[in-house]
Amino acid sequence: MIKRNRQKVEERKLWDEDTRQLPLENSRKRGVVIFTAILFGFAVIGFRLVNLMILDHEKLSERATQQYIKEKALTPQRGAIWDRNFKEMATNIETDSLYVVPVKVKDTRQLSSQIAPIIKVSAGEINGLLQKRKEKGFAWLARRMDLETSRRLEGLRAPFKDGEIGFVTEPKRFYPKGHVASHIMGFSNIDDKGIAGIELLYDEYLKGEVKSVSFGVDARGKSLAGDIKEAVPGNNIILTVDEGLQYIVERELENAMEEHKAKAATAIMMNPATGEILALANRPTFDPNSPAEADGEEKRNRAITDLYEPGSTMKSMLASAAFEEKKVSLRDIFDVSKGTIVVGGKTIHDVHRHGILSFQEVIQKSSNVGAVKIGQRLGETKYYDYLRKFGFGEKTGIDFPGEVKGILRGVKNWSGTSLAALSIGQEIGVTPLQMLRAYCAIANGGTLMKPYIVSEIISPSGKVIKKSVPTEERRVISKTTAALMRDILKTVVEEGGTAQKASVKGNLVAGKTGTAQVFDPETGRYSRSRFVSSFVGFAPADNPKVALIVVISEPQGATYGGLVAAPVFKNIIEHTFAYLDVPMETDENKIYLVSR
């Protein structure tokens, strides 16, 4: 019995030991499994972190930026434009632009109704924008507002406080002279991109490097602090134009428009020795600060885009060519006593009857009959060649957009009356700038100069990037012929000439009048009531400081160039000489020609 009990006790001990070892082994196995699972989990997490932080970092960073940083390109400070004396013609002023964060707007209708009357846009249009871009972080509401509008918007405190709307400061193009030199300046659009004039042609130099404004938003779309990156301002431009002379030209042109109730007018002043444009004006005109308020007629730069038949101003080119080719001399006389000449079945009339005229007097008195006879001596081919040499039928190459080349048909396309017509300035289309350049060749001794209007381009640091210099295109006539023509053109302004009203007290003037009938394409004939009146010349005649053309389109009442355009020339030159302090000449304003 005792032995059996002892055996049971021993068996119980063995059982207890076995039962104690079993949970220990299970616990160890469980621990290994858990540890392995944890280790695997960390391995997966580690791999994912490596993938996110290293392999996909750039892509995810870019995506995060797109989600939480909203960026909008803004324009930098546009370069200034100065006249030759560094007077500001175009500059910039700081203005507020209004933006909205659509994703943050709680009540689009309420915000739209608050803002609409202030920025003068319909509430429906604003509400539509907000609805369309409700998931976006940025949208413009109004660009470059005036000060009064900005102040009124500031009164709407709640939308600014809640981050629904805000201001960004942007430069706005400003032309301190208003309409003065508007056709030279041109203008830029709301994004400061050049649209016309110098602003257009030199946009790449003026615009500078773009900057941007970044708007941070959190996961809920709430706005964070913004950051504005630095921008490089545009380059500055110095013009050949003199603001004082420009004002004189514009004032006198405006007076002429009002006096003669003309359809349009143009005046250009140029340095005949260099080709520099000193002033250029057109009427009608516009204010480049408000280009949207002007129509195409007002914005058009007629000086380089509008063609007209020059009439008698072309006789100077004819006379220069004939004398250069030795087809005429000062001793030659022309019988124009009939007052008419028939060419190819077409009768050409003189405005006034004359008797026997010398070569000089044909130009002085602007005889059409005499001019036709000179043209017949010169011949078609020679005349055409000289017209081309003087720059007609081609662009002048001025650094200005929109120039046209004019109309000059080749000799093979001439009719039996073309030589006669061209001798009196018909059957040809020229721009005012082309005609002025041709006269500058006579004024400077026979060289055709390339006109230009930008003198220098200067970087923000003051470095000269580009500098224009006088450019001789070609010699057109000899110095001898040019000197003779200057003398002849002086007589046009004297007693007996057609432009006595262009005479300037104390200084000799040389020039020529033009009165051309406007061709009516509907009737196929020249109008008897519509004219283009012009005068082109230079002064002082023997040492020209300036050359000037005045073209008045369709004046009412008086129509002759000597009565309409010549007085405008006189007024401009007199005020110009006072402004430039050009001394009066002591010689009498009279010229006597001798045989050559």
Query: Looking up tokens 């430069």, which residue turns up?
Result: 171
Do residues 592 and 330 lie in contact, with contact meaning Cβ atoms separated by under 8 Å? no
Pairing of strands 81-82, 236-239: parallel
Of 190, 219, 217, the closest CA to residue 101 belongs to 217
Q: Which of 223, 312, 455, 468 is catalytic?
A: 312
Extract the tokens encoding 389: 């040499």
In Å, how far are 256, 480, 556, 558 from 260, measured between CA atoms? 6, 39, 5, 8
Looking at the DSSP assignment, which residues form a beta bridge with residue 456? 238, 467
Cβ neighbours around 431 below 10 Å, total: 29
Q: Are 449 and 392 in contact (CB under 8 A)?
A: no
Q: In terms of Cα–Cα distance, which of 314, 326, 341 is closest to 379?
A: 326
Which is nearest to 165 in space by CA: 224, 77, 99?
Answer: 99
Which stretches of 337-478 are DSSP H helices?
359-364, 368-378, 380-389, 418-423, 432-443
Q: Token pair of 533, please?
A: 């009146």
Q: Encoding tokens for residue 362?
A: 């044909």
Under a CB-based contact definition with an 8 Å cutoff, are residues 208 and 79 in contact? yes
Give the three-class secondary structure for 116: helix
| Short-list 141, 59, 144, CA closest to 94 | 144
Angle of CA points 182, 184, 186, to nearest 5°: 65
Q: 474: which strand partners?
A: 448
- Of residues 245, 152, 215, 253, the one with CA closest to residue 535: 253
C-alpha distances (whole Å) from 7 to each of 12, 13, 81 are 9, 10, 119
Is-catalytic flag, 468?
A: no
Per-residue CA distances from 201 to 188, 267, 306, 430, 437 (Å): 11, 22, 19, 23, 21
Range 3-7, long-range pairs (CB < 8 A, 24+ positions): none
Closest by alpha carbon to 272, among 462, 50, 539, 40? 539
Residue with structure tokens 């005012």? 432
Helical H segments across 51-172, by residue range: 57-68, 108-119, 123-132, 147-154, 157-161
Secondary structure letter of residue 356 according to DSSP: E
Catalytic annotation, residues: 312
